[in-house]
Amino acid sequence: MTGVQTCALPILSADNWVFRCNLVTIADGKMADHSAGHISTEEAEKLIKELNERLGNEEIRFYAGLSYRHLLVFKGLGFDVQTCPPHDYISTEIEKILPRGKGSELLIDLMARSQQLFANHDINKVRADLGENQVSSIWLWGQGKKARMESFKKRFGIEGATITAVDLVRGLSKLIGFALVDVPGATGFVDTNYQGKARAAIEALDQYDIVFIHIEAPDEASHNGSIEMKKKAIEQIDKYIVGPVLDALQNHDSWRILLAPDHPTPVLSRAHSPEPVPFAMAGAGISGILHTSFSEANAAKSGFKIENGFELMEYFLKS
Q: Do 133 and 157 share a domain, yes or no?
A: no
Calculate Rg over the CA atoms of the chain: 21
Q: Do 130 and 263 share a domain, yes or no?
A: no
- Which of the pair, 77 or 245, is modelled with greater confidence? 245
Q: Do 161 and 212 share a domain, yes or no?
A: yes
Q: How confident is the model over 167-177, as pLDDT tens digits? A: 889 989 999 99
pLDDT, the chain, mean: 92
> Which of these three, 144, 178, 199, is where a domain ends?
144
4 domain residue, yes or no? no
Q: Do 71 and 139 share a domain, yes or no?
A: yes
49 domain residue, yes or no? yes
> Which of these three, 144, 175, 204, is where a domain ends?
144
**pLDDT of 4 higher than 70:** no
2 domain residue, yes or no? no
d(CA 278, CA 123): 41
Q: Do 207 and 233 share a domain, yes or no?
A: yes
269 domain residue, yes or no? yes
pLDDT of 19 reads 97
> Which of these three, 111, 144, 177, is where a domain ends?
144
Q: Do 246 and 187 share a domain, yes or no?
A: yes
5 domain residue, yes or no? no
Domain count, the chain: 2
Q: Do 224 and 289 share a domain, yes or no?
A: yes
**pLDDT of 239 higher than 60:** yes
3 domain residue, yes or no? no
Q: How confident is the model over 7-54, as pLDDT tens digits? A: 345 678 888 999 999 999 999 999 999 999 999 999 999 999 999 999
190 domain residue, yes or no? yes
Q: Do 116 and 200 share a domain, yes or no?
A: no
Q: Do 104 and 174 share a domain, yes or no?
A: no
Nearby residues of 99 by Cβ (< 8 Å), 6 or more positions away: 81, 82, 83, 84, 107, 108, 140, 141
d(CA 258, CA 61): 38
Which range marks the domain in which residue 31 is found? 10-144
218 band by pLDDT with thresholds 50, 70 and 90 = very high
Q: Do 177 and 65 share a domain, yes or no?
A: no
Length of the chain measured in residues = 319
Query: Closest by alpha carbon to 179, among 195, 202, 163, 157?
Result: 163
Q: What is the CATH number of the domain that holds 208?
A: 3.40.720.10
Q: Do 217 and 247 share a domain, yes or no?
A: yes
Q: Do 158 and 130 share a domain, yes or no?
A: no
57 domain residue, yes or no? yes
d(CA 60, CA 184): 32
Residue range 81-103: average pLDDT? 96
Query: Closest by alpha carbon to 36, among 177, 147, 134?
Result: 134
